[in-house]
């Protein structure tokens, strides 16, 4: 008789804070270079499209927050931030979740 016990381990980038806590912009510092994408907003949001990319270098300070349609909305002086405006043809920047642990919360 053979008995096998499996242990499942998953690696997720889960914050100690809830999704609701991240709905307000929080100041962070980039600890690994991360690519962000510029999005031209369409109406409805499903018609939005990526129009450019940029790399944020290690040490960059900025604000990020969650939104329903994107993992991270990036807010930084010099970058368009029109995600929460209702007009068409506005621009905003987003970051994915890769590489893992790319930011550190600044208190």
CA dihedral of residues 53, 59, 63, 66 (deg, nearest 10): 60
Write the CA distances from 17 to 24, 62, 66, integer angstroms.
12, 18, 12
Burial of 10 (0-12, 13-18, 19+ CB in 10 A): exposed
Domain ranges of the chain: 21-105
**Tokens 């970051």 — which residue?**
95
Q: Which pLDDT band holds residue 100 (cuts at 50, 70, 90)?
A: confident
pLDDT one-digit tens code per residue, 18-44 = 777 888 899 999 999 999 999 998 888
Q: What single-letter DSSP state applies at residue 57? A: P
SS3 content of the chain, % helix, strand, coil (to 5): 5, 40, 55
Distance (Å, whole) CA 20 – CA 15 = 12
């Amino acid at each position: 008789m053979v008995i096998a016990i499996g242990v499942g381990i998953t690696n997720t980038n889960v914050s100690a804070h809830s999704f609701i806590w991240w709905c307000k912009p929080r100041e962070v510092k980039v600890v690994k270079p991360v690519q962000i994408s510029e999005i031209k907003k369409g109406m409805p949001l499903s018609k939005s499209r990526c129009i450019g990319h940029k790399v944020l270098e290690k040490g960059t300070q900025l604000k990020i927050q969650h939104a329903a349609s994107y993992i991270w909305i990036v807010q930084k002086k010099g970058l368009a931030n029109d995600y929460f405006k209702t007009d068409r043809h506005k621009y905003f920047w987003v970051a994915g979740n890769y590489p893992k642990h790319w930011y550190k919360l600044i208190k």
